[in-house]
Amino acid sequence: MFSIENERPDHAAEIEELLDEAFGPGRYAKTAQRLREGNAPAPGLSYVAFSGEGEARRMVGALSFWPILIGGAPALMLGPLAVKPELRGKGCGIQLMERGLADAKRLGHRIVILVGDAPYYARVGFGPVPPGRVLMPGPVDLARLLYRELDIGAFSNVSGAVTKPDGV
């Protein structure tokens, strides 16, 4: 088990180190990064995971959600999700997502999208975006463009370009 906490400002440097370790400098070139630049994470929906206790306690994972619009409809984008490489496959990422998705639903969010590995994210209810429904602001492998409804039917009439919220 991992201890999941809401991200605090004093976690920032450690999160950046974790993201660098997990993704390297190429993370800044990804299309999803265009939607994070100049945007701010959704309030209350950024998390860190710790393992160990006392002096052995260390940050091992991080996750944030970002407000976006899909054809003008409000939604969230999940990511980045980072876990220490030596702990991948141990449940940390799933635990972070389960907490975040439950909190997002509780806060009234209805749709979450991401770009990632379909079999992995299917474990928390994500599936492929139907072809032609969502246009990202840059190149994306459409097989990796996934969505999850937090309310049944929330995605049924949503389509269009993914953009940052107005004013961002």
Question: The CATH number of the domain where 38 resides is what?
Answer: 3.40.630.30
In a domain, 110, yes or no: yes
What's the domain count of the chain?
Answer: 1
Single pTM value for the model? 0.93
In a domain, 168, yes or no: no
Percent helix, strand, coil in the chain, to 5, is 35, 30, 35
Cβ pair 32, 77 in contact under 8 A: yes
In a domain, 106, yes or no: yes
Predicted local confidence at residue 32, as pLDDT: 80
In a domain, 56, yes or no: yes
CA–CA separation, 109 and 18 (whole Å):
27
Confidence of residue 29 (pLDDT cuts 50, 70, 90): low
Across the chain, mean pLDDT equals 93
One-letter amino acid of 91? G
In a domain, 38, yes or no: yes
CA–CA separation, 68 and 158 (whole Å):
13
Predicted local confidence at residue 30, as pLDDT: 74
Q: Give the residue, 80 or 26, on which the prediction is more confident.
A: 80
Domain range for 117: 3-163
